[in-house]
Structure 1
Amino acid sequence: MTTNLIIIFLFGIIFVGSSSLPTIPYSKYVPNSIRKYSSGLNYYWNLLLDDDSLYVGGQNVILRLNRNNIEDRTSSIYKSIDIPSKRDEVQKCLSHSLNQAFDCENHVRVLLRRKKKYNDIFVCSTNAFSPKIYYFNPDLTEKQGSKEGFGYCSRDPRHNNTALWTDEGNPENYGFFYTGAVIDYTKTEPIIYRPPSDDGTIKFLRTPQYDTDWLSAPEFIASFDVGSNIYFFFREKAEEQRDIFPRIYSRVGRLCKNDVDTATIMANTWTTFRKARITCLSGTNDSPFVFNDISAVTKLHDDRFVVSFTSAPGDLTTSIICEYSRRDIDSILDGNFKEADSTSVWRELPRDHVPDGVSKNCESNGSLSDTVLSFLRSHVLMNGNIFSSPPMEIAFQISDTIITRLVTDYINYNNDNQITLVYAGTQDGQILKLVQKKKGEKFVLLTSWILDENTNEKSPVRNMILAQDTKQLYVSTDAAVYQFSVNQCNRYILCTECERDPLCHYDIQQNRCLNVDENNVKVAIARLQPESWCKKSVQRPSKVLELTRKKGETVWLQCDVSEHLRSSVEWRWNGRNIQDTLFNNYLLTKEHNLIIINMNNSLNGQYTCFVGNQPMISYSLETDRDSFVYGDVNSVTTNLSRRNGECNCLTAEKYIEKYNDWCKEFENYQRAYNEWEVLRDQSCPKP
C-alpha cells in the first residue's frame, strides 16, 4: 500500500514512504571546454560571425577574434581597434547626461557585414550621444572615413535599436539598411528608417516625426528580412488605451522593401507600414492571463517566429515562449484597420470606409491618390491581435528569470521530421537549452548552462550567435565573450537524459552518452522510440559490488549521482521498490544514499539504485554467518580466520582491512551527527 510522503530530519536522514517517481529535472553546470575573452567591463553587446572571424562591438572598441578559439590573441586573425569619442564630443554629452562613465562613451550598437558590392564591416556607435558610422575592411583596417550616423543607431546606449542590411527586393535592386532607433535625447523621436541610396536616386523613408500613432516610445527588439517584407518587433505605449491607464503593448510592424517616396503629402514617409498587437495568452478562454512585454525574438526558416515575453513589472517574474506563423501575422496585417472615433475610442474600421486603392501588401505605391495617401498617413494600426499558434498555448515557461536573447537551430531526420532547438539567454547569465520534437509541441528544458561559476555577479546575456557548421555558441555579456560547443553529451548520466537531446545518443555497448551521428540508423530508431531504446540499453547497472556485513550492523550504500538527479533516486531490493518492502529497516539520507538498519539474514539480497528507471549501481549484500561483536577478540579471530569452513591465517593486513571498515562506518555516523546538530541549531530556539 502506497503511503504518504513523510520527511523527518534526524541525523541528516530522510524517511520516505512514497513510491511515485518525479520527472527527471534538468542539469545546471558550466559547459565543458568553455573559452572566455575579456579585457574588462567593455559592454560587449554586439556579435557578428563571418568566415573565420568573430567580430565584437563594445565600449570604445571593435574586436576581431578567431572563431575557432576566441582566447587566442596570438592568432593572425586577432585584432583590437580603439574608437574613443573625441574630447569635444564628450564635453557636449556631459551637458545632457548624468553618467559620464557610461553615457558619454562610444558604444557600438550596429555591427553588420556587407558583401556583394561593398565587402566591408559596417559599424554604428553612440559616440557620446552623437552617433557615428565607421567602415572597415574584413581585416579591420579602415576603409573610409567616419561620418554622422543619425537614424542608423540610437544616441543613448540604453535605448534599444535594431538594424539589418539586405541586397534583395529593394528599389532598383540596390542594397539598403533598415533600422529602428531613437534619435533624440528625450526618447520622443523614434524612427524606422531607410537611408537614401548612395547616388541619391532613391530618397530616404522614415516614420513621421513626433506622431505617437505610428510609434509611441518604442523599445525595439528585433527586425527580420523575409521575402518582400521587413518585420519589426517592438513594445510601446498603447495609444488605443491611453484614456484608461498607461499600458505597454507588444507589436509587429511590417513594411515593404519596394516602398518608394511619393513626393506628395507623404514625402519621405512609409506608405506600406502597418502594425498590430502581438500577445501570448495562458490560462483559459474565460480567464486568460495576457503577457504583453516582448523580450526576445528569433526566426525559424521564413515561416515561424519564436518569441519570448515576460510578466509585467511588479508581478512574480515569469518568462514564456510562444510560436507564431508568418501566415497568421500577415493575416492580421492584411486585415481590417482600427481608428479612433470622435470620443477617442479606438474601434474597428468598417471595410466600406477604406478608400479604393489601399493595397494589402507590397503593391506599387507610385500611383496612389491623395485620398489613399491621406488615409495611409492616419491609419497604421490594425484591428486584430496576433495570437500564438496554436492559440492559448504556451510553448515554454520558466519563473524567476527574464529571457534576453533567443537563438534557434534545427535537425532533420527521417526525411520529413524536424527537431527544433532553442537556446535562451537570461538576465541572470544562464543559457537554457530547449528542444521541441515536433512542430506545435511544447519545448522541454534539457540543460541550463552557467557561464562563470566563479563570479557572484550574474551578468545579463547581451547577445548570442550560433555557428551552424561547428555547433559552437558565442555569448556576450557586459564583461566577457564566451565560446563553447552545444554538444555536451558526456555530461548526461541517464539514457533518458541523453535521448531527449537530439545532438546526443546513448550507446548500448559503451553504456554512455555520445555525440550523435546523424547518418547512424540506430539514432533514427532511438529518435522514434527513445523509451524502448533506453529500456533495452540499461538492463544491468554499470557497477555491481559484493558486500558482506555482520548481523546487527548498520550498512551504508551510496548512490553517487549529480545533485539535479538526487530527487529522482529510487532504491530497489531484489527488483522491488524498497519503499514498499523494507519500510522499518531502512533510511534515506538527504543525498538519497541508503542506510540498512540492523542487518540480518532476512535483509540479504541485491540493492540497486535507479534514477529515471536506469540502474546506476548495485550491491549484492550478504550477512556474515560468523557475526562479529565489538570488543570480543575471539569474534575477531573467528571472523577473519574462518570463512566458508576454510581456515585462513589471521594476518595484520586482514586486521587493518577490517579496522578501516570500522573507521569508515564511524565517519559516516560522525557526519550524520554533525548534520543533525546543524539542523537542531537552526530549528530549535536556544535556551
Structure 2
Amino acid sequence: MAAFLCSAWLLLLLLSARGLHAADADSDFRYIPHEDLLASSDSFDEPGVSAYSVIQFDLARNQLLVGAKDSLFRLSLRGLSALERARWEAPVNKTILCQDKGQREQDCHNFVKVLQINGKKVFTCGTHAYSPLCSWREADNLNKVLETVSGTARCPYSPQANSTALMTRDGRFFAATTTDFSGADPVISRSMGGLETLRTSQYNSKWLSEPDFVGAFENDEFVYFLFRESAVEYINCGKIIYSRIARVCKNDTSGQLMLKDNWTTFLKARLNCSVPGQYPFYYNEIQGFSYDEPQGLVYATFTTPENSIAGSAICAFNMSAISTAFSGAYKHQAHPGASWERHSPTHSSHGKCPTPGGGLPRGLVDSSKYQLMDEAVKPFTLHPLHVSQPLERLTKIAITLVDTKLHKSVIVMFVATSEGKIKKLGVLPRTMNTCLLEVWEPFSPKVRGTAKIMDLKYLKETDSLYVASSEGVLRVPAQRCARFPSRQACLNAHDPHCGWNELKLSCTTAPNKDPLALHWEQSAPRCPVLTDPVDGSWGSWSAWSSCAYKQGSGDQCQCRIRQCNNPAPQHGGKDCGAGPNIEVTNCTQHGGWTAWSQWSACSQTCGVAVKSRRRTCGNPAPAFGGRVCVGQDHNEMYCSANPPCPAKQGPPPRDGHWSEWSSWTGCSAADCGTGLRTRRRKCDSPSPQNGGQECPGCAEQSELCSASCAEVRKFSTWTPWLAISANSSSGPMKERRYRFQCRAPATDPNQVKLTQFKEEERTCIGNTCSKPGSPSVVSQGQWGCWSDWSPCSVSCGLGVRIRSRPCLGSSCDGPTTMDESCEASVSCHCECKIIFLLNLQYFF
C-alpha cells in the first residue's frame, strides 16, 4: 500500500513538474471547437447504424472500407461519400439464441471486428450474435459474397472483446482473439495462405493469461502482436497487468507429436514504458499502437491501471531493441509454486524461423518450456515521449512524419483520449520532447461524454486523419494553417505543417510540398509560444438553434453565434474586429391581410350579375410557425345598376304527334285460353320542340285475346237396361239402354257438350232376352251461325252489344244469345281504357 501511495504522489509531482495542464477552451488558441473542426472536415454516418469499429484503406481503388454494426461500407477517401452499403445482419434464430443464453439484446447483433484486404478481395469477420462468421467479398462490390467461412479463432464472440487481425503480404491470416462463448480461451492463430492452421497452447496461462489484444504488424519473417495480460511471473506478489509484445514466425511448421498444431516459435516479452528513477514509475497497460515501418519504430500509448489514479504516457520502441530482447535469456518457472528465474539454455534454436528444406523443427522441448523473455523491451528514449496531463487516459494513436524547413521527418502524433478528444503532438527533433500543438473536439455537445473513438488512422496520400467512432466516420485534415491571420501568429504556433508564405501573405503548408522554398518561412522548432500577443480570429458559426423572439410571447427564432476564439486574442493581441457574433433568422411571422383589390367587372352587362374583389394573406405571409390570417379572402356584391336583359327570340314551338300504331304482338296465352296482346306508338312524328306540347294519350294499348283449343270427342258407357213396357206378369217385356257421345273444345268439364246418343231395345220373356233389330240413332239439335253484333248500347264510354243464333233441331244445348262490353267511338274523358272481353255465358 505504501509503495502504491508513493507511486501515486510521484505521478502527480511528475505531471505538475512538466507543466502540462488542460487546454483552456476560452483562452488557448490550440483548442479547436467542434464547429471549427467540422467546417474543414468530412463526416459520414448512416441513420440507425452505430459502432463504426474498424477502417481500412484501399488505395488501389481510392476508397475507405468501414466495418460497423450489421453493415459494411465503401466510402470515398476524400469527402467520405457513400459508394456502397452492404447489410450484414445476424439471422433471427441466432439473435434469439444469443438472448436465450443470457446476452443483452444490444450485443446480439453482427459487429464487424475484422476487415482485411487481399488483392481484389476483402476478408471480413463479425460477431454474428455470438456465433462468429467470416466471408470473402469483392473489394469493389461488398454485396457480392464469394465465400463464407467459420469465424472461430478469427473473430471474438463478444463485441466488447479486444482482438486484432492481420493479413500478411503473402496472404496468410493471423488473428489474436478468443475462441469460445465465455471468452476464456484466448488464442493467437494462423490460417489460410497454404499452410497448416496453428495456435497457441490451449488453457495455458504461461502462453496467454487473460489477454486484451491491441494490434499486430509484420516485419521481415515475423509477425508481432501487442497486448496486455495478467503477469504470471508476478503472481507470487499479487496480481498485476503487464504490456507484452509477442512474435511468431510466418512459416512456423509446428511439431509432429509434441506441440502438434501449436506454435514452435512463440515468444513474448514485456514492454517497458516508465519514468526512470531509483523507483521507476510504470505505465503498465498498453492501449493503442502505430507502426512506422520505414523507421522501424513502434509507437504505443500506455496507462496506469483502471482502478488507480489516471495517467498516460507515449513510448516508442525500435525493432533493434525488440530483437535484442527476443535474443536474450528466458524467464522460467520450474514447477508451480516455484519462483521465476532467469535461464539461458545453450545452443537453443528456439524462436528461430525454419529454413526451407530444413526438415522438422528442433528444440521442441525448449519451445514448450520457454515462452517468456527475461529482459523487457526498452524504449529508444530514456523518458517517455509524452506524459499526459493529470487524470487523462490516452487510447488510440496515429503518427506521421513531416519535413520542415530545418529538419526532415519531424514526428507528429495524433492521440485520442478516453473523453473523446484528439490531441496533435509534435516531437522536437533534437531533445525528443513533446509539444501540444492542438486539441480537437470531434464530437458534438449532445453526444460528448458518451461517444467513443474506436479506430484512428493517418493517411499520407490525403494528409488526413480518419476517425472511426461509435457515432460515425470523420476525416480531419492534419493541419489548419489558415486559421492564423498574421505572420507572428503563424510562426508562434510552431506547427510543423505550417509556415508563412511571403507570396500569399498567409499561413500555409509548404508550397508544392517543398519546405525549402525561399518564400516559405518557418522558425526553429519549439513548443507553441503562449505569451506573445495573439490576434483574435472569428471561430465558425455554431449550429442553428431555437431562441425566444419576445419574452413570454411563445414566438421563436433560429439563432447562431460565433466567438472570437480561433484563436482568442491574448496578451494584448487585436480583437476580431467588425462583424456580428450572433445571427437571427426564421423568426415566427404571423400572417397579415393585404389591402382589398379593386372591384372586378360585373359577371354580365344586364340582368342579375355579381362583382367581386380579393385580398391575400401576404402582408406578411405566415412563416416559421406563424398564424394564418383570420377572415375571408373573397368578397362579392350584386350589380344593382344593370338594366334588364331583352327577351330572347327563338324558333316557334312545335307540338309532338303520334306515329302509327305498331302491329299487335302475339297472344300471351301459352296453349289455349285467354291472354293479352299489345301494340305501341311513338311521339316522334314530329317530336315536341322549342317548348311544344307532348303527344296526348298513351303510347301503349292492350286487349284480351284467346287461342283456339283442339276439340275432344268421347263416348260414354252403356246405361243399365231399363223396362219400358209390360203386357202381363208372364208375357214379353221391353227394355231399353242408352250411350251418349260428348265433345268439348278443351279438357275443361264445364265446356262439355252432348252431341248425339244411341239406344238399344230388347224383348225379354222370362229370363230370355233378344234384340229385335238394329238400334236407332236419335240426333240432337244443332246450332246455326251467330248473327252480327248489334250496335253499342251507349253513345260514349263503355256499353254492351248482343248477337244471337238459331237452333236447327228439336233442342240445342247452350244459350241463344251472347253479349260483350263495347266502347263508343267518342270518349267521355281523357283516360285511356283497356278493352276487356267478357266471358260468354252459356244457357241451357
Q: What is the TM-score of this pair, normalised by structure 2?
A: 0.57
Return the alpha-carbon distance in structure 2 between the equivalents of residues 263 and 439 of structure 1.
Answer: 53
CA–CA distance in structure 2, aligned partners of residues 540 and 181 of structure 1: 50
* Contact preservation (8 Å) 2:273, 2:315: yes
Letter in 2 for 1:492: F
Give secondary structure in 1 for the equivalent of 2:253.
coil
Does the CA contact (< 8 Å) of 2:564 and 2:576 recur in 1? no
Match of 1:286 among 269, 275, 278: 278
Matched ranges for 1:207-222 at <5 A: 207-222=200-215
Residue 302 of structure 2 corresponds to which residue in structure 1?
309
Shift of residue 279, structure 1, vs aligned partner? 2.0
Q: How does 1:142-181 map to 2 (within 5 A)?
A: 142-168=144-170, 175-181=171-177
Please name the residue that 1:468 is paired with.
Answer: 460
1:428 matched to which residue of 2? 419
The match for 1:67 is: 77
**Partner residue in 1 for 2:391:** 400
Q: Is the 8 A contact 1:49 1:465 kept in 2?
A: no
Query: Is the counterpart of residue 411 in structure 1 residue 421 in structure 2?
Result: no
Equivalent runs, 1:370-381 vs 2, <5 Å: 372-381=363-372
- Measured in 2, the distance between the counterparts of 1:414 and 1:540 equals 23
* Contact persistence 1:389–1:440 (CA under 8 A): no
Q: Which moved more, 1:42-51 or 1:387-396?
A: 387-396
CA separation of 1:120 and 1:498: change in aligned 2, threshold 3 A: farther
Instruction: Report which stretch shifted further, 153-162 or 504-513.
Output: 504-513
Of 19, 27, 31, which aligns to 1:27?
A: 31
Cα contact 2:500–2:520 (8 A) shared by 1: no
**For the structure 1 residues 121 and 617, does the alpha-carbon distance in structure 2 shift closer, same or farther, using more than 3 Å as the test?**
closer
In structure 1, what residue type is equivalent to 2:514? N
Counterpart contact for 2:52–2:470, Cα < 8 Å: yes
Query: 1:299 maps to which residue?
Result: 291
Which residue identity lines up with residue 392 of structure 2 in the other structure?
T
Deviation at 1:423? 1.1
The alignment partner of 2:105 has SS state of coil
- The residue type paired with residue 90 of structure 1 is T
**How far apart are residue 355 of structure 1 and its match?**
5.0
Q: How many Å separate the matches in 1 of 2:506 and 2:406?
A: 27
1:184 aligns with 2:188: no
Give CA-to-partner distance per residue, 1:81-131, whole Å, 9 cap, x none. 1111112222222233331122x100100011101xxx2011111111111
Q: Could you tell me how far apart the structure 2 residues matched to 1:322 and 1:520 are?
A: 28
Alignment match, 2:440: 449
Q: Which residue of 2 aligns with 1:80?
A: 85
* Structure 2 residue 113 is matched with structure 1 residue 109: yes
Q: CA 1:80–1:348 in structure 2 vs 1: closer, same or farther (change >3 Å)?
A: same
Over 3 Å counting, the alpha-carbon distance change for 1:386 and 1:348 in structure 2 is same
User: Which of 480, 495, 500 does residue 501 from structure 1 map onto?
Assistant: 495
Corresponding residue of 1:98:
103
Corresponding residue for residue 36 of structure 1: 43
Cα gap change, 1:310 to 1:338, in 2 (>3 Å): same
Greater shift in the superposed pair: 307-316 or 491-500: 491-500
Partner residue of 2:474?
482
Q: Work out whether residues 412 and 427 of structure 2, in 8 Å CA contact, stay in contact via their aligned partners in 1.
A: yes
Structure 1 portions without partners, runs of 5+: 1-22, 169-174, 544-559, 571-608, 619-687
Q: 1:123: which partner in 2?
A: 124
Q: Is the 8 A contact 1:435 1:443 kept in 2?
A: yes
502-511 vs 330-339, greater mean Cα deviation = 502-511
Shift of 1:154: 0.8
Query: Would you say the 8 A contact 2:491–2:522 is kept in 1?
Result: no
Displacement of 1:616: 7.7
Q: 1:355·1:372 contact (CA, 8 Å) conserved in 2?
A: no
| Residue equivalent to 2:377 | 386
Instruction: Tell me: CA distance 1:565–1:326, structure 2 relative to 1, closer, same or farther (3 Å).
Output: farther
**Separation in structure 2 between the aligned mates of residue 483 and residue 542 of structure 1, nearest angstrom:** 26
Q: CA deviation at 1:522?
A: 4.8
For residues 378 and 389 of structure 1, the distance between their equivalents in structure 2, rounded to whole angstroms, comes to 30
1:89 maps onto 2:94 in alignment: yes
Structure 2 gap segments, 5+ residues each: 1-26, 538-562, 578-844
CA distance in 2, matches of 1:342, 1:264: 23
The residue that corresponds to 2:312 in the other structure is 319
The aligned amino acid for 2:164 is T
Change (3 A) 1:37 1:540: closer
Identify the residue that residue 236 of structure 2 maps to in structure 1. Answer: 243
Percent identical among aligned pairs is 22
Alpha-carbon offset, residue 542 of structure 1: 11
Aligned residue pairs total 513
Give 1 or 2: higher helix fraction. 1
Q: Partners in 2 of 1:403 and 1:306 — Cα distance?
A: 13
In 2, distance between residues paired with 1:312 and 1:542?
41
Q: Distance in 1 between matches of 2:460 and 2:390?
A: 29
500-509 vs 257-266, which moves further: 500-509
Q: Deviations over 1:108-167 (max 9, x none)?
A: 00011101xxx2011111111111011111221314232211111111111111111113
Max radius of gyration: which structure? 2
**Shift in alpha-carbon separation, 1:251–1:541, aligned structure 2, 3 A:** closer
Q: Is the 8 A contact 2:173 2:192 kept in 1?
A: no
Residues 231-267 of structure 1: CA distance to partner in whole angstroms, max 9, x if unpaired? Answer: 1000001111122211111101011112113323111
Does the C-alpha gap of structure 1 residues 325 and 345 become closer, same or farther in structure 2, counting only changes over 3 Å? farther
- 3-state SS of paired residue (1:332): helix
Assess if the C-alpha contact under 8 Å between 1:499 and 1:530 holds in 2.
no
Question: What is the rounded CA distance, in whole Å, between the counterparts of 1:272 and 1:471 in structure 2?
Answer: 38
**1:619-643 alpha-carbon deviations (Å, 9 max, x no partner):** xxxxxxxxxxxxxxxxxxxxxxxxx
Equivalent residues of 1:492, 1:498 under 8 A apart: no
Instruction: For residue 466 of structure 1, report the CA deviation from its aligned partner.
Output: 2.3
Q: Residue 187 of structure 1: SS of its match in structure 2?
A: coil
Superposed CA deviations along residues 603-630 of structure 1, whole A, max 9, x for unmatched, are xxxxxx25xxxx8899xxxxxxxxxxxx
Matched AA of 1:191 = V
Q: Are 2:516 and 1:521 equivalent residues in the alignment?
A: yes
Counterpart residue number, 2:54: 46
1-side partners of 2:519 and 2:284: how far apart?
40
Moved more, 296-305 or 362-371: 362-371
Task: State the shift of 1:511 in Å.
Answer: 5.2
Maintained 8 Å contact 1:355/1:371: no
Question: What secondary structure, in the 3-state scheme, does the structure 1 residue paired with 2:52 have?
Answer: coil
Amino acid aligned to 2:397: L
Cα distance in 2 between the residues matched to 1:147 and 1:342: 40
Aligned with 1:89: secondary structure?
A: helix
Q: 1:242 to 1:530 in 2, by over 3 A?
A: closer
3-state SS in 2 of match to 1:322: strand
| Equivalent residue, structure 2, for 1:656 | none
